[in-house]
Structure formats: C-alpha cells, structure tokens
A and B are shown apart, each in its own frame.
Chain A
Amino acid sequence: MRKNWWLSVILILVMIFLIGPFLIIFISAFGNEASLRFPPRGFTLDWFKKVLTMPMFLDSLKLSLRLGVFSSLIAMLLGLPVAYVISRYDFRGKRFIELTTTFPVIIPQMVAGLALLRTFVMLNLFSIEITLLIGHTAIVLPYVIRNVISTLVNFPPSIEEAAVSLGASRVRSFFIVVLPNITTGLISAFILTFITSFNNVPISLFLTGPGVSTLPIVMMTYMEYYFNPSIAALATILIAMTVGIVAISQKLLGFSRMM
C-alpha cells in the first residue's frame, strides 16, 4: 500500500502548531537567564520556587480558584432548572431564552465587561470579589445551560414518565432518576466552566481593583514589567494542573465520552 505522505506532513504540521507553543513555554521555564528565551542556555528550578512563594501570584491564584469554583457552582444551580425546562417543555418565548443563552458567547466579552463595570463597579454596590463573582457567573452560565441541555436531550423523557407512572412525583423523579443519570454531564460542564472562568481575562480586566486581581490579570500585568521565565514556570504549573484535572476525571468518569 502506498503511503499518503502529504497527509503525514499535514499531521506533523498540525501537531507542531498544537504542541509547539506549549513545548517552548515548558522548556523556557527551566532557563537560568533573567529574560525569557528559547532555547535556554542553562537549567534551573528557581523560577518555580519563585512563583510559588510570591504572595502576588499565590493570592491571585487563590482568588481565581475561588471564583472558578463558586461561579461554576452558582451557574450550575441557576442553569440546571433553565436547561431542564428548555429541554423538556415547549412554551412561548422558549426560542428567545435559548437565544439569550448565546449572547455572552456572541457579544465581545470586552463589551460585556464594560457593561458590568458601569453597573456594578461605578455604583460601588458590592465588594470587588462579589462583583467578579457576578461577572464570572454571567460569563459561564450560558456554557452550563448549553451543556446541560445537550446532556438532557440525550436522556429519554420516557424514563421520567416511567418513574412518574410508578408513583414518583415530577420533582421527585427529577432527583432520583434524572440527576443520578446526568452527573457525568454535569461534572463535564463544571470542568468546562471552571476552566472558562479560570482563564478569563476580558471580564476580569474591568472588574478587578486595587489588591484584588485574578491570576491571568496579574500575569498580564507582571509581563508588562518583567519578561523572565517565572511566567513560563507559572504557565507550566497551570497546564499541569489542568491536565491533572482532566486525567483524573477521565479515570473516574470516562471523560472521553463527555467532550
């Protein structure tokens, strides 16, 4: 059989595009010079030690983790009933609600951030962290709704009807029949929203304030002044974390089915 050599070339090119940037960051994180360069001349782990002890990074990391977890949880609580109603019932205005769940994906996040800035920060209604939490929840909510809808659509309504016919009320059958069967979908939605919140720059940019900033914003600001491998080290740590989460969930849930 003759090999399709040009297909192999394309495949290799794509792999370089996909993995290349990550490899460059990964390798330069171990460089021993004061500025980021590739390939590095010497090897050191100092940058890792440095970023893990800098309070600026640690505090913003903690804030980003808190924001990711809580905005995802709140979005889940708000989004699940909405997704359920959309996937199970026909009603007037359903199309409109479905459309609005795509707004935050369509509207440039810079604009959304500015809008939130005008409403919350200018009015000084809440603390910065609460404002950030509101902003992040708004950004991840559509992802929750869309993901949970697609999970629910794959769960036959007749199974719920079976539960109801056997004596469970609608609400009860949701908790004892639907919920146990969509946990995989919910967890995958959670991971997706967590990562979306964790990586978000445009919304956070407008809503952060003195002393309270998310990790991506801190990294961005830091890079404006210093261009040393500590950022690469931090990025490597973050990538390792994400890969770890995905790997664990794959082991536990059969993640490949979910994404």
Chain B
Amino acid sequence: MAFLEMKNIAVMYQKGQRILENFNLQVEKGTFLSLLGPSGCGKTTTLRTIAGFLAIQEGELFINGKLYNKVPTHKRNLGVVFQNYALFPHLSVFDNVAFGLKMRKVEPSERKKRVMKAIEIVGLKGFEERLPSRLSGGQQQRVGIARAVVIEPDVLLMDEPLSNLDANLRLEMRAEIRRIQKEIGITTIYVTHDQSEAIAMSDKVALLNSGRIEQLGTPQEIYYSPETSFVARFMGFQEIANGTVSEITGGKCFVNTGEVSLEVRSSSEISRGCKAVVFGRQKNLNLLKERSDNSLKGLVKAKIFQGDSVLYIVELGDQIQINSEVSVEQALWNEGDTVFIAIDRNLSIAFKREER
C-alpha cells in the first residue's frame, strides 16, 4: 500500500453537489506530488479532504497504513501551508513556528532548538521577533512553511502557496520549496493551477478535471505525452487540424484532413476510422515557403511586427487559427499570402474528436 492512499473517495459540499466521486490517489513516501488543474476541478477539495477540513462521505483515506476517515484534523499530524499564509497575526515569527510544538507539549529547550532550526532552513534567521505584518509576502510564506515543517508532519499539504506572490519571487520560491522538501525528504502534496509550477517542482503531477484524475505521471510524461485532449490543452497544446484516422502503426497514425494525410503520434483513445483532432504546440510549428512532407496549407491573416520578431496569425481552415513567431529575416510573407506549416510528427498528437 502506498504511503498515502485515497480509495473511492466521495466528498460533497452542503448544497449537495459532489466535488469528488470515486476518487483514487496513491502517493509514495517522500514524493512531491502536484495536483494541477483549472479552478473548480477539485484539487483544493482533495487537499482539504486529506487535511480533514472536509468530511469524507464515502471511501477511505489511509496514511501510513492507518485509516484516517474519522481522525479529526488536530490529531492528523499534517503540515498545511495556505495561499494567504494564514499566520497568527498576534504572534512573532518565533511563536508562530513554535505553535505546533507547543500543542504537542514539546519541552521548551527542545522546542527552541527545533524552531530555530526550521527558521534557519527557510532562511529567516534574525527575524524571530518580528510580527507577521512586518514581513514581506515571500517572508510570510517562508514562516508558513517553517511553521508547517517544524512539527515533522507525515505529509506536507500546500494550497497554492505562491499565487499571492509576484512573478519573480514565485520563481525563486519554487526552487526554495523544492530544496526544503528534498532536504527534509517530506511527502508533499502541492495544489496549483500553474502548469509550469507543477512541472518545475514535482516528482509526479496529477492533472484533475471535474473531480477526476485525467492523467498522473512524471512532469515529462504530462508535458510531452498527454493522454487526453484535456491534458493536451491544459499543457499548452492547441488544435491544428481535424480529420479521419486512416491508419495506426506503432505509436504513429495518419490523419486524413481532406487536404493531406498527416503523420502524427497516436493516443490510446483513437482507432481506425474515427474522427480525430491533431494537437500541436505553437512553438513547434514552422512556417514554410513551399509544401513539404507533413505540412498544412494556411492563409496569413495578420502580420505583427514585435521588434526582434514577427508574429504571424495564420488561418488553417475549419476555424482554426495558429500564431507563429519568426525572426525578422524570415518574415517573408504578407497578409493574404499562402503559407505552409510543417507539422512535427513526433511532437504532435491525435486525439479523438469530442462530439459537440
């Protein structure tokens, strides 16, 4: 059994709608797992269920082999880091961090040693006597992390801890959190809606969609090999062509668009003869002067000069538009020109077309 296991969990909110249903998740000890997804997908609900802030209606939650369904939050030994930091405004940095140890009746000398160590790990030495209101956002979140890890929790739960920080600080804190997590080797569940954050920090990423896990895998798997069109879209792919699958061979397939037959990677959900959508990443689409192998014809709708590059908006028919950035020297086309787009057979994937 995995270190943390959620089995067929169902969670409901007061109004009766189910947020999670038949939810399953396994997390190995020491793993950094991100719950990624758009708002309303159930990622925060999952975290709050593990924390015990939400009651489990059905299913079982195991941590370290023990059933946790009926264990109240304050007896769970979990560290929680909040989006809004949730520091105790009336307590100094030291007392904030010491709070959990006081509740555990750790004797004062030992308590002090551990608090000072945690404060040092998060890089706030010298700030012990400050009140939270006199710290910057980044520093406050460091206190939040120190306060959660000092109790040596079984699992560290982080709910979008960086989304209140500005962009530069976010990048810095990503590395910080990952360093701290590795240093103490703590099992971590990290909620975020930011895909770059999830793939940069995690060992495993679970992408959620309306209360289900769409795909669980390493950041590489999620980024390069999305298994569903939802995952593909969320990870930055976009539709580039529609067609019918004519052949599937060894991980590749041919999609007949009516204009050409494109060779792309196949996903598990397609079969011969089914309607398919080809997904690709914008930055992997190259503009060509002439038709070549595996390419699509398009029409230049707009040419936008951006200084050191030119952005082309190209229409591919079927109401599909793509953007392509090229260097100024390569900007050979004008509005209304015909252009060809090379489709990379290894970086584009075909999914079954969702019926609308």
Contact = CB atoms under 8 A, between A and B. Distances in A.
A42 interface: no
A169 B84 contact: no
Interface in B126-151: 144, 147-148, 151
B86 A166 contact: no
Interface in A46-98: 90
Given A166-B100, A167-B100, A168-B74, A181 B53 contact: no
Contacts of B113: none
A165 B89 contact: no
Nearest to A157: B86
Contacts of A156: 84, 86
Interface in A115-173: 156, 158-159, 161-170
A130 B9 CA distance: 55
Residue from the set B72, B79, B100, B103 with the largest chain A CB neighbour count within 10 Å: B103
Contacts of A177: 88
A21 interface: no
Given A159-B87, A181-B89, A181-B90, A166 B99 contact: yes
B14 A165 contact: no
Nearest to A89: B14
Interface in B90-109: 90, 99-100, 103-104
Contacts of B100: 166-167
A210 interface: no
B133 to A, nearest CB: 12
Nearest to B151: A166
A181 B148 CA distance: 21
Contact of B104 (A167, A169, A180, A181): A167
B90 A165 contact: no
Contact of A158 (B77, B78, B86): B86
Interface residues of B, number: 28
Nearest to B98: A166
B118 interface: no
Residue from the set A161, A167, A168, A180 with the largest chain B CB neighbour count within 10 Å: A167
A162 to B, nearest CB: 4
Main SS of chain A's interface residues? Answer: helix
A51 to B, nearest CB: 43
A165 B74 CA distance: 5
Contacts of A159: 86-89
A236 B86 CA distance: 47
A170 B14 CA distance: 20
A90 B53 contact: no
B80 interface: yes
B73 interface: yes
B282 to A, nearest CB: 38
A170 B88 CA distance: 15
B90 A90 contact: no
Contacts of A165: 51, 73-74, 76, 78-80, 148
B62 interface: no
Given A166-B147, A177-B88, A181-B89, A158 B82 contact: yes
Nearest to A179: B90
A69 B14 CA distance: 40
B86 A169 contact: no
B328 to A, nearest CB: 50
Contacts of A162: 80, 82, 86-88, 144, 147
A164 B74 contact: yes
Contact of B103 (A168, A180, A181): A168
A169 B82 contact: no
A214 to B, nearest CB: 38
A161 B51 CA distance: 9
Given A90-B14, A156-B84, A158-B82, A163 B99 contact: yes
A135 B306 CA distance: 74
Residue from the set A159, A164, A177 with the largest chain B CB neighbour count within 10 Å: A164
B84 A158 contact: yes
Contacts of A180: 90
A161 B151 contact: no
A187 to B, nearest CB: 15
Nearest to A160: B86
Residue from the set A161, A177, A180 with the largest chain B CB neighbour count within 10 Å: A161
Contacts of A161: 51, 53, 73, 80, 82, 86
Interface of A: 90, 156, 158-159, 161-170, 177, 180-181
Interface of B: 14, 51, 53, 72-80, 82-84, 86-90, 99-100, 103-104, 144, 147-148, 151
Q: Which 5 pairs, one residue from A and one from B, show the smallest C-beta to C-beta distance?
A: A167-B103, A166-B100, A158-B86, A165-B80, A162-B86
Given A158-B86, A166-B103, 12 more contacts: A90-B14, A158-B84, A161-B86, A162-B86, A163-B88, A163-B99, A164-B74, A166-B151, A167-B104, A167-B151, A168-B74, A168-B99
20 contacts: A159-B88, A161-B82, A161-B86, A162-B80, A162-B82, A162-B87, A162-B88, A162-B147, A163-B88, A163-B99, A165-B74, A166-B99, A166-B103, A167-B74, A167-B75, A167-B100, A169-B72, A180-B90, A181-B88, A181-B90
